[in-house]
Amino acid sequence: MIKKAVIPAAGLGTRFLPATKAQPKEMLPIIDTPIIQYVVQECVDSGIEDILIISGKGKRSIEDHFDRNFELESRIQEKEDEALYTQLRHIESMANIHFIRQKELNGLGDAIYHARFHCEREPFVVLLGDTIIDSVIPVTQQLIDSYEQYQQTVIAVETVPWEKVPRYGIVGGNNLSDRVLQLTELIEKPDRKHAPSNLAIAGRYILTPEIFSALEKTPRGKGNEIQLTDALRILLKKEGIIATIIEGKRYDNGNKMDFLKTTVEFALKRKEFAGDFEKFLRETIDILDKQTASSRKRNSP
């Protein structure tokens, strides 16, 4: 049974500067909820309440977010906003969250290595702190189901367009079922010609304790950092690794454009915004269409 989760959240978030100069990227809100809260909620919805967040310098607001704020709660109670008060109390009690700092940014593999004492000899889930996956069955639960059946390291993967293959870690292997593969290859950002498939690693893993030994043997790779994919390749030589094709939509908020897309799609899912926001989007598109038509008319011979 999987009881622990690790959420690496120590990166500098340079692609979101200047917004991330004084706050973590993981705390950027999708409407009114920080990205990392969605990730923690996925753990909780999958039955995991022991969570280790790997943080770093300037990440204190993550700790504060999941801590209790008595003054704020008192003010909300005075306003008799019971729904908001309940929401705040849920955040602070949703899981047993621990924190450890990655003092030097040496890559995802190094961040996970910091979890070795917390996880000890147990398998554990890893969820990237800037990736939200919207699904009926939480993706972490999907991976747990695969692990319980096959008792191997599990990597979440999704099908991506072939032209986007060079952006991702890509896996190759043999089908065990419609959604599970026994892996034979892991390649970080291959060109399309050398990619074994268009199945991309999707930011969720179940790792066995043997990953820590593999990380100790992993040399620095891309960016002079310890890459998790390199450690998994070492592990693959010693034991089986499976990939599970996830059911759900992944929202990678690692760049501004994808962050904007996530915000729009989540706004359309919210009952209090959906109608008015859809109307606004349609009006905006109509204006843009008219502007485009007018520009083409002016520029036509």
Per-residue pLDDT tens over the stretch 168-196 = 889 999 999 999 999 999 988 888 888 99
Per-residue pLDDT tens over the stretch 107-133 = 899 999 999 999 989 999 999 988 999
Percent of the chain with pLDDT over 90: 67
d(CA 10, CA 6): 12
Percent of the chain with pLDDT over 70: 99
Name the one residue in this structure whose structure tokens are 């952006």: 167
For the chain, the structural domain boundaries read 4-269, 273-301
Q: What CATH number should be reported for the domain whose range is 4-269? A: 3.90.550.10
Range 194-221 average pLDDT: 92
Checking if the pLDDT of 296 tops 90, the result is: no
Q: For the whole model, what pTM was predicted?
A: 0.91
Q: Which of 4, 240, 243, 241 is nearest to 122 (CA)?
A: 4
Q: Work out the pLDDT band at 301, boundaries 50, 70, 90.
A: low
Checking if the pLDDT of 259 tops 90, the result is: yes
Contact criterion met (CB below 8 Å) for 38 and 7: no
| Residue 79: predicted pLDDT | 85
| Residue 179: predicted pLDDT | 93
**Torsion angles phi and psi, residue 255, rounded to 5:** -145, 165
Residue 93, amino acid: S
d(CA 56, CA 63): 11
d(CA 115, CA 126): 10
Q: Which residue(s) pair with 201 in the sheet?
A: 157
Q: Work out the pLDDT band at 208, boundaries 50, 70, 90.
A: very high
Checking if the pLDDT of 297 tops 80, the result is: no
Work out whether the CA dihedral 49, 169, 223, 21 comes out positive or negative.
negative
For 221, the 3-state DSSP assignment is coil
Contact criterion met (CB below 8 Å) for 96 and 50: yes
Contact criterion met (CB below 8 Å) for 252 and 175: no
Checking if the pLDDT of 165 tops 70, the result is: yes
Checking if the pLDDT of 204 tops 70, the result is: yes
Q: Give the E-state strand segments of the chain in sequence order.
A: 4-8, 29-30, 33-34, 50-55, 96-101, 124-127, 131-134, 153-159, 169-175, 180-188, 199-207, 241-245, 249-252
More confident of the two residues 294 and 227: 227
Checking if the pLDDT of 73 tops 70, the result is: yes
Residue 22, C-beta contacts closer than 8 angstroms, at least 6 positions apart? 58
Checking if the pLDDT of 222 tops 80, the result is: no
Question: Which tokens is 230 given?
Answer: 């390199």
Rg over alpha carbons for the chain, rounded to the nearest Å, is 21
Q: Mean pLDDT, the chain, as a whole number?
A: 91
| Residue 210: predicted pLDDT | 95
Cα 268 from chain centroid (whole Å): 21
Question: Quick one: the chain helix, strand, coil %, rounded to 5?
Answer: 45, 25, 30
Q: Which residue(s) pair with 241 in the sheet?
A: 153
Range 244-272 average pLDDT: 93
Per-residue pLDDT tens over the stretch 34-50 = 999 999 999 999 999 99
